[in-house]
Structure 1
Amino acid sequence: METLEASALCFPQLLNTSCTKLKLPHFEGMLIYILLSSISMLTVTLNLLVIISISHFKQLHTPTNLLCLSLAVSDFFMGFLMFFQIMLIDGCWYLGDLMCALYQYIAYIITSTSVGNMVLISIDRYVAICHPLHYSTKVTQKRVQVCVSLCWMCSVIFQSLILKDIWKPHRYTSCFGECIFVINYFAGLADLIFSFIVPITVIIVLYMRVFVVAVSQARAMRSHIAAVTHQQPVKVTTKKSEMKAARTLGVVVLLFLLCLCPYYGVAVTGQDNLLSASSAAFVICLFYFNSCLNPVIYALFYPWFRKSIKLIVTLKILQPDSCDASIL
């Protein structure tokens, strides 16, 4: 009986102070482990390919791709953080208080930076579509570099203020093997507003504006073609293009909301203690899965990305002057 009870503890040698492992069915535990491991590996691999592609090939050194590079870097680190999340499947943390604090601190910073990068990308696309004549003068390589640097620095400073008490050991843990951090109400509210509500609002407003402009441009083009050719079938093509634009923008916003809303919803309501282990794991998987989707949404659909993957996989990037290869 004592052996059975000891096996249910994170640290069996500490019978009175050790945390208890989460009781997950074997099949559920294995499924969650495989799912998280797969997402983690896919996230790291895809974002690493984006990082190598944009960094290596000179043709890809554009302001927009620099934003994609910053997003890929933050999502790359998010993929690595998932390996630590895998350790918490059974509810036990074995790396000590310092690593627990460091893990949570980096996770907050990377999450905040990733959301900030998505806001910068939405601004970039807004200017490119709504103000195309001024894009080359407003969005320059140097300005984008400054914006990306500010995004990372502001995330570090803001999260350092929010998590100023995270380095105090054993303040929030009730037993050995627990890795939690509780922020006060005002800090949590500030994090919710500036890390979720404000970015979500900016992204939705900008994408809706982009959609309206794209539709109006498509209709103007339809009218112009109809006036020149006097052919009615053009309307079908225009409707298809409008629907395609609606679906693309809708998918970008919807997937972002679907991945982040459950996590922040739980954080806002404070009902995480009411979730079962499997439900909590699903919310976390969905949250991390957004970092896997970002390179797919923002890079995988570009032809240059598929071409650069072939050059990377075949090791042709190791050849002299490969950075000058024609990718676009």
Structure 2
Amino acid sequence: MEASEDSELCFPQLLNASCIRTKRPHYETLLTNIAVASVSLLTVFLNLLVIISISHFKQLHTPTNLLLLSLAVSDFLVGLLFFFQMMFIDGCWFLGDLMCTVYQYLAYVIASTSAGAMVLISIDRYLAVCHPLLYSTQVTQTRAQLSVCLCWVCSLIFQTLNLQDVLQKPGRFNSCVGECAFVINYVAGLADLLFTFIVPIAVIMVLYVRVFVVAVGQARAIRSHIAAVSLQRSGKVSRTSELKATRTLGVVIVVFLLCLSPYYCVALSGGDTLLNGSTAAFVLCLYYWNSCLNPLIYAFLYPWFKKSVQFIVTCRILQPDSSAANVL
């Protein structure tokens, strides 16, 4: 790579083998680094609250919350990865080819795991709203745990096969020293598009359309039978709770799709697509931002999350038998 006399190299000692650092005003670089670090810390902190809440309080040990726990773990890892995004601001990667490959591999694994978690959440809501009797007998804690484990294992295996070219020889697609290129060939890109985007979206849309139709009917039925006996009324409270949970998780899924779609629109717009520079930074940051939004959605729409956070920040969670506290 030819560099002009006034250009700044990522590795000056390597001369023309080094990538050229992107020149930006000092204040712009400083503000960008502060923004990235802030979002990363906020994402880690908020999702850690979700992880602690669901893991600690016994009332929250439900199949649905276990799926949310899996999503929170993936979002937590996204927050950690987001720190490395600061290295792409000036176009220089200083951690070497191996760490670049690890970063890329983890990013893809987490993306596919998040998509899998969204599908599991959609299936959970479909059974809870459309088949409540089946849900209470078939959807158990053990089966939810097994589903989550399979989701993570399948994501690891799928992305290992999908990125085998990069994993076998880290840095093979870098054009200069200091670059961390994201490369998707046609076959790998098509597989990633199919199993991480098209299939999950198709399943989610079909299930939630059905859930929406049934939920609307149930909401009308509840409003038209307000003066029922107490036993019937208690049953309506349960159904109302399920409908509220469905609405909340529907918001989570819609936000997820909005944040993930631009990545696939950009990364898979052609055959062999090379993602680096500002385009990669934008679509990846949008995906990372989704991981910060999920806990905020819980905070606004889930009363149990607010109560759990109060226990955590006031250190009441350290008291004996705090796991049995009422947070619902």
Same fold (TM over 0.5): yes
Distance 1:164 1:246, change over 3 A: closer
Length-normalised TM-score, structure 2: 0.86
2:18 corresponds to which residue?
Answer: 18
Instruction: Give 3-state SS (helix, strand or coil) of 1:269's partner.
Output: coil
Counterpart of 1:125, as a letter, is R
CA distance in 1: counterparts of 2:277 and 2:90, whole angstroms: 9
1:178 corresponds to which residue?
Answer: 179
Instruction: Give 3-state SS (helix, strand or coil) of 1:13's partner.
Output: helix
Counterpart of 2:162, as a letter, is I
1:231 corresponds to which residue?
Answer: none
Counterpart of 1:131, as a letter, is H
1:91 corresponds to which residue?
Answer: 91
Counterpart of 1:158, as a letter, is F
Cα distance, 1:32 vs structure 2: 3.1
Number of residues of Structure 1 aligned to a counterpart in Structure 2:
311
2:194 corresponds to which residue?
Answer: 193
1:56 corresponds to which residue?
Answer: 56
Cα distance, 1:161 vs structure 2: 0.3
Q: Residue 78 of structure 2 contacts residue 288 of structure 2 at CA under 8 Å; is this kept in 1? A: yes
CA distance in 2: counterparts of 1:205 and 1:318, whole angstroms: 43
Distance 1:181 1:253, change over 3 A: closer
Percent identical residues = 70
1:163 corresponds to which residue?
Answer: 163
Cα distance, 1:115 vs structure 2: 1.3
1:134 corresponds to which residue?
Answer: 134
**Residue 283 of structure 1 pairs with residue 279 of structure 2:** no
CA distance in 1: counterparts of 2:77 and 2:144, whole angstroms: 21
User: Which digits, 9 at most, give the CA deviation of each residue in 1:157-209, with x for residues without a partner?
Assistant: 00000011223034111110011142321111001110011111111221221
Distance 1:245 1:145, change over 3 A: closer
1:117 corresponds to which residue?
Answer: 117
CA distance in 2: counterparts of 1:130 and 1:156, whole angstroms: 32
Length-normalised TM-score, structure 1: 0.86
| Structure 1 residues 199-218: aligned runs within 5 Å | 199-218=200-219
| Structure 1 residues 8-47: aligned runs within 5 Å | 8-47=8-47
CA distance in 2: counterparts of 1:245 and 1:110, whole angstroms: 24
CA distance in 2: counterparts of 1:128 and 1:112, whole angstroms: 24
Aligned-CA RMSD value: 2.9
User: Which digits, 9 at most, give the CA deviation of each residue in 1:242-268, with x for residues without a partner?
Assistant: xx9998677444422221111110011
Counterpart of 2:198, as a letter, is I
1:260 corresponds to which residue?
Answer: 260
Cα distance, 1:19 vs structure 2: 0.3
1:238 corresponds to which residue?
Answer: none
Q: Residue 6 of structure 1 contacts residue 15 of structure 1 at CA under 8 Å; is this kept in 2? A: no
Q: Residue 67 of structure 1 contacts residue 117 of structure 1 at CA under 8 Å; is this kept in 2? A: yes
Q: Residue 32 of structure 1 contacts residue 281 of structure 1 at CA under 8 Å; is this kept in 2? A: no
User: Which digits, 9 at most, give the CA deviation of each residue in 1:83-103, with x for residues without a partner?
Assistant: 111121111100111111111
Q: Residue 63 of structure 2 contacts residue 140 of structure 2 at CA under 8 Å; is this kept in 1? A: yes
1:230 corresponds to which residue?
Answer: none
Counterpart of 1:289, as a letter, is W
Instruction: Give 3-state SS (helix, strand or coil) of 1:16's partner.
Output: helix
CA distance in 2: counterparts of 1:275 and 1:179, whole angstroms: 9
Counterpart of 2:196, as a letter, is S
Distance 1:261 1:27, change over 3 A: farther
CA distance in 2: counterparts of 1:158 and 1:116, whole angstroms: 12
Instruction: Give 3-state SS (helix, strand or coil) of 2:136's partner.
Output: helix
CA distance in 1: counterparts of 2:96 and 2:19, whole angstroms: 13
Distance 1:327 1:250, change over 3 A: closer
Q: Residue 19 of structure 1 contacts residue 176 of structure 1 at CA under 8 Å; is this kept in 2? A: yes
1:325 corresponds to which residue?
Answer: 325
Distance 1:122 1:267, change over 3 A: same
Counterpart of 2:153, as a letter, is M
Counterpart of 2:177, as a letter, is F
**Residue 72 of structure 1 pairs with residue 72 of structure 2:** yes
Q: Residue 126 of structure 1 contacts residue 207 of structure 1 at CA under 8 Å; is this kept in 2? A: yes
Counterpart of 2:197, as a letter, is F
Distance 1:43 1:270, change over 3 A: farther
Q: Residue 93 of structure 1 contacts residue 177 of structure 1 at CA under 8 Å; is this kept in 2? A: yes
